[in-house]
Amino acid sequence: MPRKGSDFAGLSVALITPFRDGEVDFSTLRSQVEFQIDAGTNCVCPVGTTGESPTLSHEENERVISEVVQAAAGRVKVMGGTGSNSTAEAIRLTSWAAKEGADAALLVAPYYNKPTQEGFYQHYKTIAETVDIPLCVYNIPGRTGKNIEPDTICRLGELDNVVMVKEATGSLDQASQILAGSDLTVLSGDDSLTVPLMSIGGEGVVSVAGNVVPQDMITMVRASLSGDCEKAREMHHKLFPLCRDMLGLATNPIPIKAAMKMLGRDTGELRLPMTPLDEAGEAKLRKTLTAYGVL
Q: Is 166 marked active-site? A: yes
Adjacent-strand bridge partners of 186: 165
Q: Is 138 marked active-site? A: yes
Choice among 138, 146, 231, 284 that is catalytic: 138
- Determine the straight-line distance between the first and last CA of the chain, rounded to whole angstroms: 43
SS3 49: coil
Adjacent-strand bridge partners of 167: 139, 188
- On whether the CB atoms of residues 175 and 167 are closer than 8 A, the answer is yes
Q: What stretches of the chain show up as alpha helix (H) in DSSP?
A: 26-39, 58-72, 87-100, 117-130, 141-144, 150-156, 172-181, 194-199, 214-226, 229-248, 254-262, 279-292
- On whether the CB atoms of residues 136 and 109 are closer than 8 A, the answer is no
Neighbours of 141 (CB within 10 A): 17
Q: What is the CA radius of gyration of the chain?
A: 18
Choice among 4, 77, 146, 166 that is catalytic: 166
Active-site positions read: 138, 166
